[in-house]
Amino acid sequence: MFLRRLLLSVLFCTCVSPVHAQAPDGPETLTVITHNVWFGFTKKGEPRHGEWLRWMAAQAPDVVSLQELNGYTAERLASDARAWGHAHSVLLKQDGFPTGITSRYPISDVRILRDGFHHGLLRCRIQGLWFYVIHFHPSNFERRIAEAKLLAADVASLPEADPRILLAGDFNGFSPADRSHYDSDARLVPFFQQLDARNPGAKNLNNGRMDYGGIEAILQQGYVDVLAASRWSSETFAGSFPTPLVSDEDHGTDRRLDYLFASANLAGSVESPVILRDSVTARLSDHYPVRAVVRLQPAQAASVFEGAPQLLSETGAGEGPAWHPQLGLLTSGEGNINLRDRSGTVSVYVAEAGSNGLLVDREGRIVVCEPVRRRVSRRTIDGKTTVLAETFGGKKFNQPNDVAVDSKNRLYFTDPRYGSREGMELLDESGRPIEGVYRIDPDGRVVRIIAHEVDRPNGIAISADDRFLFVADNNNNDVGGARKLWRFHLQPDGQPDLATQTLIHDWKTTRGPDGMKFDVEGRLYVAAGLNQPNLPAETAEQPTAGVYVFSPEGRLQEFVRIPRDETTNCGFGGDDGRTLFVTSGGSLWSLRTRVAGRLLISPAR
């Protein structure tokens, strides 16, 4: 069972049955988001609504299921949908608490049901899948069970013998998969007791206990809770409600109300379901959005690798592989910058460098992140060193980790603090420690571009067109720390649009992402993972150490395992630029690739 979950959440290699295959010109996948947007933005409307539009556009979804579209008209929903590239939309109603759906592709077979439903039920068909937009009764478990039965009756009326169905929305109910969390929350039952006492028609509790009947009624119909099915045993509970946006109101404690349920014949094609909890979504609504990818066709891409990883050396390569056309391969290891020349001879290039991430710029100079000296420097091959950044606001940096450059020669570097945060110099106005991301402009000006949006920034990369900034978030010191890959839209002035923060991949409780590089076709190669557990902070229920390849659209395309623990970084090189060098646990590996890496200067002499 766990291996199946690993494939769902990490390798993404399931596909649909040939019986339901789409036309060759149809999409391979559908990215689906469901979100309860809280009173149709009539409360705390701006800048919330504007930020939500920008955020949704950055996610590039194919189908969006929405709840609580209070005050919306069909025209307003269509206008919002156009903001994220959707030409098709349906609104359930214009009174009360409407639901709606938007799509990149045509919507057909629309049916609106209101009788027996507290908010109503919206059903439609998109790309051969049946979608139900759900918003069940908010305070009565008996009504939720009844609504589930009405849902089953409509499904029975569908003109297919074996329909593929996705239920998406706010079910306002509790899953038996989350029972242990709710049992451990001593505040939850008293909270619902107060609600039931205030409202004679409310039945949040069943004889004084949490009730799971509404969700059990869905499960009994054969649907799969895709979030629960992909959950690792080591994961801590994460709910979808309430967010900090409503911290000034009493909405109780963390619980999961928003779901994606797939019919049994579709569940195996649902990839990477996730509750999108981050600093941006925390202020968009009182509910966090939920996202998943539904695969409609088998993946067509051939492997980007030619052969298996080859071990080059056992030691001396802890981090920072960077190819220099005159020198060869530079790595950080054992406190030094080490050099492996074209013949394979290894030597110490800079002793006691205290380095981590390395970058060879367009002039052949070596940019060095120095966590030991807490600075970023640049070195010419004749040994001249220039300090580029050592302080910000008069305070020393934490541990500069990795560096990237855009087309305007602006440098971007990450500044995490691994280990204890005690005694950190870089603090915000409230005294909160800052593990930030910074930009060094060609004139020497240093700008902090990310403060708290990333928990512990590590690897960093910028797309060739300067449109996107990718940041690895790898807090492997703390239980429950982020292990995620983020993408931000990068504006022409070099500032990321923080409202566009997008989760590309979540490594959950294992070792998270580290260094990363692009190839010339726009794929992103990310070093990440762990083969043996490093408890309590990092698990390894299955080996995850290796290189993860993401398509230009941000989908996980391929994973190749490195049989050595703690895969830390990667970089392209060789005379043709088609060798990917990988550092893992101090060892150095190579992988041949079908296409060349994106290097700043020609890799040949």
- Tell me: the pLDDT tens digits for 481-491? 999 999 999 99
Question: Does domain 30-295 correspond to CATH entry 3.40.605.10?
Answer: no
**The predicted structure's pLDDT at residue 147:** 98
Contact criterion met (CB below 8 Å) for 512 and 457: no
- Tell me: the pLDDT tens digits for 331-381? 999 999 999 999 999 999 999 999 999 999 999 999 999 999 999 999 999
**The predicted structure's pLDDT at residue 20:** 36
**The predicted structure's pLDDT at residue 196:** 96
Domain locations in the chain as residue ranges: 30-295, 310-592
Place of tokens 């608490």: 97
Residue 568: Cβ within 10 Å count: 28
**The predicted structure's pLDDT at residue 17:** 28
pLDDT exceeds cutoff 50 at 9: no
- Cβ burial 72-104 (10 Å sphere, 16+ → b, else e): beeebbbebbeebebebbbbbbeeebbbbbbbb
pLDDT band at 18 (very low <50, low <70, confident <90, very high): very low
List the structure tokens of 138: 């908010």
The chain-wide mean pLDDT, for the chain, equals: 94
Adjacent-strand bridge partners of 32: 63, 292
Percentage of the chain with pLDDT > 90? 88
List the structure tokens of 239: 């709910």
- Tell me: the pLDDT tens digits for 235-259? 889 999 999 999 888 898 999 999 9
- Tell me: the pLDDT tens digits for 278-336? 999 999 999 999 999 999 998 777 899 999 999 999 999 999 999 999 999 999 999 99
Task: Give the closest residue to 232 by CA, choosing from 15, 540, 559, 529.
Answer: 540
Place of tokens 């049992």: 183
Contact criterion met (CB below 8 Å) for 193 and 153: no
What is the tally of helices (H) and strands (E) in the chain?
A: 9, 40
pTM of the model: 0.90
**The predicted structure's pLDDT at residue 24:** 53
**Average pLDDT of 516-537?**
95
Q: Given 3.40.50.2300, 2.120.10.30, 2.60.40.420, 2.170.190.11, which CATH number is that of 310-592?
A: 2.120.10.30
Percentage of the chain with pLDDT > 70? 96
pLDDT band at 480 (very low <50, low <70, confident <90, very high): confident
Q: How far is CA 486 from the centre of its chain?
A: 6
**The predicted structure's pLDDT at residue 6:** 37
Distance CA 517, CA 277 (A): 26
Task: Give the closest residue to 184 by CA, choosing from 230, 239, 224, 140.
Answer: 239
Pairing mode, strands 88-91 and 290-295: unpaired
**The predicted structure's pLDDT at residue 16:** 27
pLDDT exceeds cutoff 70 at 14: no
- Tell me: the pLDDT tens digits for 76-118? 999 999 999 999 999 999 999 999 999 999 999 999 999 999 9
